Amino acid sequence: MSIFAKQNEANKPKTLEVIDDDPLGKSSRPPLPGETPAPARDKRQKSVVQSDLVITGNLTTAGILEFCGQITGDLSADTLFIMEDGHINGKVSTKHITVIGTLTGNLVAEDATFKSKSATKADIQCERVSVEAGAMIDGHMTCRPKRSTQD
């Protein structure tokens, strides 16, 4: 008897193969731990408006917008970053905003963050606000947390 004997098919270790029959990649089995899909909010698309883009008119997105350009008009986004080169002159509606650049007009947001290099001249309505030292804000601010329906 040799220690290098060939294994016959019956003695080979068996491996489990998972076959998904859905061509769209959706599995018919429940997800395993670590395969749980991310919440819908994390599936938002990110758009970038570069500093050489000048917009006259309104801009709307349901996703994340990194804004480096200039706009004269209304802007609506789920999450908005006005970068250092960004200049907005108009009404901004968003859930989450971080201002590093310049905002002039009106702002309605759930969360508003004003970084140290930002310059904001606007009437602001928000639920939560964060202002870094050095941020310039000129205007009227109303910051009221959303009240629960049980109050």
Domain range list for the chain: 47-141
Rounded to 10 degrees, what is the CA torsion of 113, 119, 124, 127?
10
- Residues 31-44 have pLDDT tens digits of 555 555 555 555 67
Residue 24 has pLDDT above 90, yes or no: no
Q: Which residue has the higher pLDDT, 27 or 144?
A: 144
pLDDT of residue 103: 98
**Residue from 70, 71, 143, 74 nearest 113 by CA:** 143
Mean pLDDT (whole number) for 40-52: 80
More confident residue, 131 or 39: 131
**Is the predicted pLDDT of residue 78 greater than 70, yes or no?**
yes
Residue 51 scores a pLDDT above 80: yes
Is 107 in contact with 90 (CB distance < 8 Å)? no
